[in-house]
Amino acid sequence: MTQRAKEPLPAKAPPLVRKKNKIKNCPFCGHFPQIEPWHGGAPTKRLISCSNEACEVGPMVCGETEKEAIRYWNHRKGGVK
């Protein structure tokens, strides 16, 4: 099995984006996640996924609203902080 080359960690998201959305980096590789509209359901539905193509886990969450999706994404062991 070949190992994927790890990309260097990106710069953090702009402060206004981080402060406004209060979204955490990927818990597995540390990259900032991407938020995009998601099909099926209300037009407010959002998908959040790791933006690093080399992330070995590639986590994704979906919520009925951006706020709900961020809450799911930010959930870590021990609960949402």
* Tokens coding 48: 């959040």
Amino acid at the residue 64: E
Give the whole-angstrom CA distance, residue 13 versus residue 67: 17
CA dihedral of 24, 11, 33, 65, whole degrees rounded to 10? 70
User: What local confidence, expressed as pLDDT, does residue 39 receive?
Assistant: 85
User: What local confidence, expressed as pLDDT, does residue 13 receive?
Assistant: 53
User: What local confidence, expressed as pLDDT, does residue 11 receive?
Assistant: 47
In the chain, what are the domain boundaries?
A: 15-74
**Bridge partners, residue 48, by sequence:** 35, 61
Q: What is the pLDDT along the chain (81 residues), one digit of tens a residue?
A: 455 555 555 545 544 444 556 899 999 999 999 999 988 888 999 999 999 999 999 999 999 999 999 999 999 876 544
Give the whole-angstrom CA distance, residue 74 versus residue 54: 20
User: What local confidence, expressed as pLDDT, does residue 18 receive?
Assistant: 47
User: What local confidence, expressed as pLDDT, does residue 19 receive?
Assistant: 52
